[in-house]
Structure 1
Amino acid sequence: MGVKICFSLLGGLLSVRTTAKATPSITNITLQLPTQIPAWTEPLSPQLAGFSIEMDRWLEFAGKEVGKPNEYFNQLLRNLGERTGHMPCLRVGANSQDRGFIDLSVPVLKSDFPPPTVNVPNPEATRVSIGRDFYALSGNLPGGTSFMWGLNLRSLNKTETVAQARLLADTFQGSRANLTKNVKLVNVEIGNEPDFYGPTRFGVQGPYGPSWNVANYSATWIEFAEAVSREIKFGNSESNSRQPTFSTGAFTGFMGPEWAPQGMLQAGILDKASVRSMTSRFAGHAYSGGFDPRRVVNPGDLMDKLSVRANMTIRTDGIAAVRSMGLKYILGETNSYANHGQPGLSNTVEAALWMTDWLLLAASIGIERVHFHHGLGFRYNTLQPVSGSDDGLNITNPHVLPSYHALLIVNEAIGASNRAEIAEIATTNLTLTAYGIWEGGRLKRMVVLNSAVYLGNGVKSSLRISLRGGRDERRPATIKRLDSGMTTSLTGVTWAGQSFETISGRPEGDVVKEAVVGGVFELPASSIALVAFDDTF
């Protein structure tokens, strides 16, 4: 596609977009740039933005047969991979991984679903029968795609877990490895949310009593990990081995402080040298709350800057503990509101702003990967891979939701250099959020968000942002924008002038960039700008 660059003051652009009678509501604000790269920047993984897929719906994403991929889903993945040079990492598992059982009489997969209810309109399977070709569907994904596959722990049936590991090993390392030669198994996860296997504070009672605690889990996980390692060839977590490594944890985050990574580490989960050498990551899970059909939806609640930081930064002690042991911290499952999302928040433009902020804030405090959970018809999906998915958008064909654009923005901000670093840039306004991305010690890009709410009444407010400080304030730059009608928009979203709301998943339209003049640009309510600085200046 061609690129259009508009060399004009952005205030002029705003006046063109409003009627002659309207008076724009503009707030002038200074964004102070760091005078040098902050000492606390964190490396940006090109696979920061990942997917978590509910195992019972794996066929809808991967395609129902080996060699017959879901081309729409693959195209949406390629859109992301093109921006960083790395395909996203897919975690497949979640609740239904602990309801999975090997049944080689099943060709691929058989999922048993309960009827939908008001509280759970898109229920998860109560039992998943894993057939011979189940893991082999991984080869349907674009070349270079990485996988974290989940195995059943909740049944505490070591024979079953080992059988799953054996089939997984045969698919990626054994007699059927030719089917998956273009994709990679990078992590193996044993169990999903083990902190919910026993009593909880939320009325959810698992199958095991009070004796199931973090120490019991740690001893059990070691036992199962050793058994799995006799089936799958694991690499050394401290080397660049092409073999997979273990990811441990997968705690909900709702059962802290008892179920925190510190407790697992203190219980000796890494004390055995053989197990530690095969373990590279700890996975936490995180949601901003839970779906409630009685909830009064208030636009702005999800993307509220204070709420986002309160929810994310409670993990900093756990991140420090995990990293001190040589592991990387990931969010193996996350999204807006648990139990598949809150209509009116999770499936609107607001979710795109929240997700962009959530991803970049996670990276800035040391989280390597963030896997956004997906099922079929879930309101918090970034995309629906097949027709007939009821997510509140009233679209029958496969489609993207507004939050998909967050993945595009973040991957574009990361870039393809493999040496980007990130830090949040302090602002003086609660609706203004900014992140800087540095390469080789120099500020290369910024992501700037305006989380003010606009519901379509009157003129949309805007921030007129003046970049000040250091050598970058007058540096030539261009902007790409996330545009939409209003905070609650479900469709009509564009990124850099292009629409990704297409049947094919390929973008339509020319890429549009706007020139920043004099270090000043305007940012309307509920929008995002990616600022790219000129390398030659």
Structure 2
Amino acid sequence: MAMAMTSGSLLLGLLAQQAAGQLLVPHSPPAGASEPVPKGASSFSIEFSSVVDYFGNTTHPNEYSQNLLFNLKNATGAFPKIRIGGTTQDRAFYNPNQNAAINLTYETPTDDQPIKVTYGPDFFQSYHAIPGLEFSYGLNLAYNGSDQSTQLSSAAAAACKNMGSALSLSELGNEPDFYPGYPSYNRPPNWTMTEYIREWNWKTGVVTKAMEKECPGVNVRFVAPSFIWSNCELRPCKRRYGVDANGCSYMDTDCEERYGLTDLSMQSLLMNHTGVVGSLAVHLDAARDLSYLGLPYTLSEVNGMALQGGAWTWSMGSALWVVDFALWSTTNNIKRINFHQGTGYRYVAWQPVPVDGAEPNTRPPYYGQIMVAHALGNSNSTRLANIPLPSDTESAYAVYHNELLSRLVALNLEAWYANSTTTRPSKEYTFRIPGRYTTANVLRFMGPGADARSNLTFDGVSYDYELGGGKPVVVDEMGKKERVHVKDGMVRIEVPASSGAILVLR
């Protein structure tokens, strides 16, 4: 796959010319470095039908989820943002008379997703179970029955009334480019761009009217258009999307979705920096095309593979993909990446409740999220620069806080498996950095191998459910105390295959 870097990233080649194996990193952000990275850049999307599982309610909050989210907040100074949506938002119907928080109807009990969701007023307790979270809330665009306007108005008013300040954005519809065909069949095959825009404008008007009536003074904002295919037939609408006959723009944030679509080898599908660059190239092009709007470009729902993931997405390799995908995105000014989660899904960062007899558990992608959080750090002015490396199987970044070099990230993406009979290889990286630094704390992401599902640590810490219910538990004292010295303006770090490291400069 050919590299498809942004022009800004090509400029960064100047900062990392390899001289005698040294990677030259400047003291301040170079030309082409990212804009300031917003808090919550690496965040989560939760399947609509899984909300109660992930958060619980005000009487019985899911303390495990709370612990895991607090770990991320402690690293960055802010909670991740939470998008509620996915396929089941377009199968969800509000019933103000329903006593149960949520009822799920499955075609087959083993299916990943229900075919119908009904929810009542108590459903909204979940949004207050963990105080401080902000949500983007998914509303049903797909339903087009005779009472569609009434149903949508009722759902919107209930969300506004019950979520209060926790409601940050609304999202009308999920993957509408799927509506005319498989797997949705919610619209006729000849459903056009014009019809989509007309319907979106009409229904956002319904939502806005309902919310403003229920919550006077509320600022109603929308995420749009939430397509799945970057090259879909609907794509041209984004240059004029959300503008109705009165010239009223409802568009707040532009979103698209990215999925790996085939179960290839872990090395080619997930542990491949060139693959990350290629998969995001179309989004970077679109973000540039839309920059004149002055709106943040986000990835509303992403993960490493379609259909809720496969075997490889439940592995350390998938966690390293999370790190590279998130850092490359933010380096190139994608303002938010929502990694999708759902009860029983394979690619999740954590399973929040018992499923099929198995206890809740922390999955490898959560460790990827922890590494991203510590790479970005707690600063009100974080900027990133990619450090180009010669191989598909490695990746590196410089992180700047308040315009000064703060930390370095190195990922060795070579796939090495836990049952391998060979010695685990490693790569040494030598960074030439400004002379003001004398030491660096080393924060390593380690595990038995690329295919490992357990015994993972970050900075010597485990976040596993069975050890501390998601709270940090030190399991490797020596790993947590690792330091390296800066000598003659150079700092060296060895990174084993299928692992990553952060150098926090001192």
Give me the TM-score of the superposition, normalised by structure 2: 0.87
Verify: 1:328 aligned to 2:296, yes or no.
yes
**Among candidates 521, 527, 534, match of residue 493 of structure 2:** 521
Residue 46 (structure 1) shift: 1.7
Q: Does 1:424 align with 2:412?
A: no
Q: Which residue of 159, 162, 176 maps to 1:168? A: 159
Please tell me whether the aligned partners of residues 195 and 214 of structure 1 are also in contact (alpha carbons under 8 angstroms). Answer: no
CA contact (8 A) 1:376 1:389 kept: no
Output the amino acid matched with 2:177.
D
Kindly provide the CA deviation profile for residues 38-64 of structure 1, in whole angstroms up to 9, marking residues without a partner as x: 22222212201211111112111121x
Q: Distance in 2 between matches of 1:355 and 1:389?
A: 26
For the pair 1:281 / 2:253, whether they are aligned, the reply is yes
- Partners of 1:501 and 1:274 lie apart in 2 by 51
Residue matched to 2:234: 259
Measure the CA separation in 2 of the matches of 1:525 and 1:79.
Answer: 26
Contact 2:442–2:501, Cα closer than 8 Å, also in 1: yes
Post-superposition offset of 1:158: 2.1
> Structure 1 residue 443 and structure 2 residue 405: aligned?
yes
SS in 1 for 2:269: coil
Distance in 2 (alpha carbons) for counterparts of 1:451 and 1:296: 16
In the other structure, the counterpart of 1:238 is none
Q: Distance in 1 between matches of 2:134 and 2:361?
A: 23
- Say if 2:273 and 2:393, in contact at 8 Å, map to a contact too: yes
Tell me: CA distance 1:101–1:271, structure 2 relative to 1, closer, same or farther (3 Å): closer
The offset of 1:431, in angstroms, is 1.9
Deviation at 1:204, TM superposition (A): 4.1
Q: Percent identity?
A: 26
**Cα shift at 1:259:** 2.6
Structure 2 counterparts to residues 229-244 of structure 1, below 5 A:
229-233=208-212, 243-244=219-220
Q: Residues of 2 paired with 1:136 and 1:287: CA distance? A: 31
Alignment partner of 1:407 is 2:369: yes
Q: How does 1:301-340 map to 2 (within 5 A)?
A: 301-340=269-308
Supply the AA of the counterpart residue of 2:416: Y
Q: CA RMSD in A?
A: 2.3
2:472 counterpart of 1:502: no
User: Any conservation in 2 of the 1:33–1:473 contact (CA below 8 Å)?
Assistant: no
Match of 1:146 among 134, 144, 151: 134
**Could you report, residue by residue, the CA deviation over 1:47-88 in whole angstroms, capped at 9, with x for unpaired residues?**
01211111112111121x442211111111111111111111
- Change in Cα spacing, 1:527 to 1:110, as seen in structure 2 (3 Å) is same
Give the equivalent residue in structure 1 for 2:6.
none
Task: Select between 299-308 and 493-502 the one with higher mean Cα deviation.
Answer: 299-308
Letter in 1 for 2:128: G
> In 2, are the aligned partners of 1:282 and 1:328 still within 8 Å (CA)?
yes
1:102 CA displacement: 1.5
C-alpha separation between the residues in 2 aligned to 1:253 and 1:387?
33
Task: Find out whether 1:127 has 2:95 as its counterpart.
Answer: no
CA contact (8 A) 2:229 2:256 kept: yes
The question of whether the paired residues in 2 share the 8 Å contact of 1:215 and 1:264 is answered with no
What runs of 5+ residues in structure 2 fail to find an aligned partner?
1-19
Give the aligned partner of residue 325 of structure 2. 358
Contact 2:176 2:226 in 1 (8 A): yes
Matched, 1:85 2:77: yes
Counterpart of 2:4?
none
* Corresponding position: 1:208 with 2:187: yes
Alpha-carbon distance, 1:188 to partner: 0.5
Taking structure 1 as reference, are residues 132 and 502 closer, same or farther at Cα in structure 2, changes over 3 Å only? closer
Moved more, 334-343 or 419-428: 419-428
Report the TM-score when normalising by structure 1.
0.82
Q: Which residue of 1 aligns with 2:430?
A: 466
State the match for 1:114 in structure 2. Answer: 107
Higher relative contact order (CA 8 A, sep 6+): 1
Q: Aligned equivalents of 1:269 and 1:55: distance in 2?
A: 24
Q: Deviations over 1:185-228 (max 9, x none)?
A: 111001111111114xxx54623224323332122111111111
Seen in structure 2, the aligned counterparts of structure 1 residues 472 and 341 have a Cα distance that, compared at 3 Å, is farther
What amino acid is aligned across from residue 30 of structure 2 in structure 1? P
- 1:29 touches 1:463 (CA, 8 Å); kept in 2? no
Distance 2:300 2:435 in 1: 36
Q: Paired residue for 2:3?
A: none
Counterparts of 2:183 and 2:135 in 1: how far apart (Å)? Answer: 30
Measured after TM superposition, the shift of residue 232 of structure 1 is: 1.9
**Hey, what does 1:42 align to over in structure 2?**
35
Stretches of structure 1 that go unaligned for 5 or more consecutive residues are 1-27, 174-182, 235-240, 391-395
Q: How far did 1:304 drift?
A: 1.1
TM-aligned CA distance change 1:353 to 1:122, over 3 Å? farther
Deviation at 1:245, TM superposition (A): 1.8
In the aligned structure 1, how far is the partner of 2:81 from the partner of 2:123? Answer: 18
Conserved 8 A contact 2:201-2:244: no
Matched AA of 1:478: N
Contact 1:185-1:244 at 8 Å conserved across structures = no
Between Structure 1 and Structure 2, the one with more helix by share is 2
Aligned length: 468
Q: CA deviation at 1:29?
A: 4.7
